[in-house]
Structure 1
């Protein structure tokens, strides 16, 4: 019998829990690091996460919960990062390049490191000297809630090192998940960041009372906006109609499971940013991403009216009604 793959999952939220469920279908040994001692103790005793996707049963034979990050990383072959981008620096605090040596590092984070305004994979390469061919990202379209229900889902694993991408895709493939590898890591990762901003825009306009017709035009224009930005920042022949690009955008823009759409909807209904964050009790990556992309685009100067609208509403305290009215004139 083949030896089980040794995997570390960093993060205790819904997406981390969904990844644990997928991985547990394979021949694996998982060390699961989470910050909450209360949740960790509960999982050890009752074998489910009390805070997220509580119906998912956690295999005590395959999964060991850890509170010490260095212990969780020891001897692992794969490290999957599944914490919000805003907290990844704190989660990995005190670690050094040697802690990640010879491991395949996989980002399941669909956001950018705030303040530094860099992709998570770029940050891992800069901070911990992880070689590019050992870095990968996980893209959807795939909501954690549907994984918990074992609804058939699709993942794309992107890496410049196709061996790394293929091995991660094999680990995540199971009876209800189909995963495939590609090499467009930057295109996939930037699209994953951008689609959260677009989902915020969809939520804002929905909260203002706009219907499906407007949302369809908004999303089709958003796809063109994403293409302009990604082509400017990382030129490469790519088909953005693929599931890792358009598919991930569609599910995030339209699904009731989308936390970014939900966050935007609250903003459109008149909530402040702070009150919307408190209402959700979850991180909407698009909030931080809107600022990061805005800063990056000051250099590239790509025409991005939808992203600008979201940035103005969230960070300049502009009126959602006025910003949406201005955007309407630009959509085609």
Structure 2
């Protein structure tokens, strides 16, 4: 149960972090918000808005304490939510000296730790000694922009601790948000990683001029690849049809809000990988995920031609047109 005196630390100040702050403060949960950008910090404190991300979303500043000091933010918090791009997790967390082992740590990051080929939850466990039953994920097919507009959305609270899941349902439920529960940490986290790669693939296809018929088959095959990766995880039953898996895949592949789809679209239209990155105002997590999944699928001997195609285009400069043409013979 969430008590009014409980504090929640939010690490990150981008779109999804801002949407999470909106949800929590609407539920009268006091938020200690780690904001490294001085302009964003000032706008949150003086205007109740993030001047850089979701600029039109009003936040209840009476329930927010913003700070550039990560240790101050974490101190006294019962729950710590990680909501930064995965590419920055090491740099952002490096100054943290306080322990996390006595807190519920929730990852809202849909990516991997660069150069370590591990999901965020594994990184938190290994570097901060957080027990399994205090590791959680909040995820789902929910773009921050639509949460900011209070449009009907679904989230999934993922944790092996039943009591912690119940608390998360209470924290994140709103009249426009339904929160479901799962204990499938590994499956849900890998789904969140892989869907960004597949959104890049869809963007590539769109940019190259492929139509709806092809895109439908491409996404169906993406879901099949996800299922094969799930099977390699072993252990618990992983449901690729769950909204946190298939739903998140679909919204990331089709939505105009999807930065990963847009990244692929730019490359498909002729931009180099570097120029596409420079044109993006936000991080495309799928770029880093492609390298991780290439490494993981090779280790586990999982056949993933779509993810492999994206990797070849992003990291080896392969022709997107030629790679997509070759892929057409492998889809079923």
Q: Which runs of 4+ in 1 moved over 4 A?
A: none
> Aligned-residue CA RMSD in angstroms?
1.2
Deviations 1:282-332 (A, max 9, x none): 101000000011111221121100000000000010000000001000011
Deviations 1:217-262 (A, max 9, x none): 0000110101101210344323221111111110001000111101
Deviations 1:176-225 (A, max 9, x none): 11112210011000001011100010001001011111110000011010
Q: Secondary structure at the match of 2:26?
A: coil
Separation in structure 2 between the aligned mates of residue 61 and residue 315 of structure 1, nearest angstrom: 46
Matched, 1:290 2:278: no
Q: Secondary structure at the match of 1:100?
A: coil
Separation in structure 2 between the aligned mates of residue 199 and residue 12 of structure 1, nearest angstrom: 24
Normalised by the size of structure 2, how large is the TM-score?
Answer: 0.97
Map 1:252-271 onto structure 2 (within 5 A): 252-271=252-271
Tell me the residue number matched to 1:48: 49
Tell me if structure 1 keeps the 8 A contact 2:17–2:83.
yes
Map 1:123-134 onto structure 2 (within 5 A): 123-134=123-134
Tell me if structure 2 keeps the 8 A contact 1:187–1:234.
no
Alpha-carbon shift at residue 45 of structure 1 (Å) = 1.4
Tell me the residue number matched to 1:200: 200
Separation in structure 2 between the aligned mates of residue 264 and residue 214 of structure 1, nearest angstrom: 16
Tell me the residue number matched to 1:311: 311
Separation in structure 1 between the aligned mates of residue 158 and residue 319 of structure 2, nearest angstrom: 38
Separation in structure 2 between the aligned mates of residue 239 and residue 146 of structure 1, nearest angstrom: 25
Alpha-carbon shift at residue 94 of structure 1 (Å) = 2.8
Map 1:156-305 onto structure 2 (within 5 A): 156-305=156-305
Q: Secondary structure at the match of 1:156?
A: strand
Tell me if structure 2 keeps the 8 A contact 1:186–1:234.
no
Separation in structure 2 between the aligned mates of residue 161 and residue 222 of structure 1, nearest angstrom: 30
Tell me if structure 2 keeps the 8 A contact 1:305–1:327.
yes
Q: Secondary structure at the match of 2:61?
A: coil
Matched, 1:19 2:20: yes
Map 1:82-121 onto structure 2 (within 5 A): 82-96=83-97, 98-121=98-121
Tell me the residue number matched to 1:65: 66
Separation in structure 2 between the aligned mates of residue 2 and residue 90 of structure 1, nearest angstrom: 32
Q: Secondary structure at the match of 1:9?
A: strand
Deviations 1:63-117 (A, max 9, x none): 1111100000010011110001110111110324x43131100000000001011
Tell me if structure 1 keeps the 8 A contact 2:153–2:178.
yes
Count of matched residue pairs: 331
Tell me the residue number matched to 1:143: 143
Alpha-carbon shift at residue 5 of structure 1 (Å) = 2.9
Note the residue ranges of structure 2 that are not aligned, 5 or more in a row. none
